[in-house]
Amino acid sequence: MNEYRFEDLKVGQEEFFTVTVTEEMMKMFLELSGDENPLHNERDFALEQGYQDKVVYGLLTTSFISKLVGVLLPGKYCLLQGIDVKYSRPVYVGDILIVKGIVDELHASVQRAVIKVFIQNQDEKKVVKGKVEVGFLR
């Protein structure tokens, strides 16, 4: 776990990690969220809608941003204060995602950083992009 403090960050600084989406993750998300939408849970329904398989929950995909900011950038001393993301492609079980963050803005007066986030799949296609705002613990 990284332990960056506000003063350690620089605009352009980046971190990333990879994760493979599993069927177990989908089951756990269903249990936690109660989202029984057939697009996420029934392969035949998803195929009928023009997708290649069940679509991974969007919020499961973006949940990896929590690891990005809470563990890597900035890590231990951050508090997620806001998130704004857009989904551009579906994610499927078995996809290998690269979750990347780049420090975009630093606001010293309020000890806040804005981090651009990107999630792409194994084919280097962006599936999520956005920004998060993080504050810092003492």
Is 102 among the domain residues?
A: yes
In angstroms, the CA 25 to CA 32 distance is: 10
**Residue 101: domain span:** 6-136
Q: Give 123's strand partners.
A: none
Q: What global pTM score does this model have?
A: 0.92
Is 110 among the domain residues?
A: yes
Is 18 among the domain residues?
A: yes
CATH code of the domain in which 99 resides: 3.10.129.10
pLDDT in tens, the chain (138 residues): 999 999 999 999 999 999 999 999 999 999 999 999 999 999 999 999 999 999 999 999 999 999 999 999 999 999 999 999 999 999 999 999 999 999 999 999 999 999 999 999 999 999 999 999 999 998
Is 117 among the domain residues?
A: yes
Is 84 among the domain residues?
A: yes
Total domains, the chain: 1
Is 1 among the domain residues?
A: no
In angstroms, the CA 54 to CA 37 distance is: 10
Is 43 among the domain residues?
A: yes
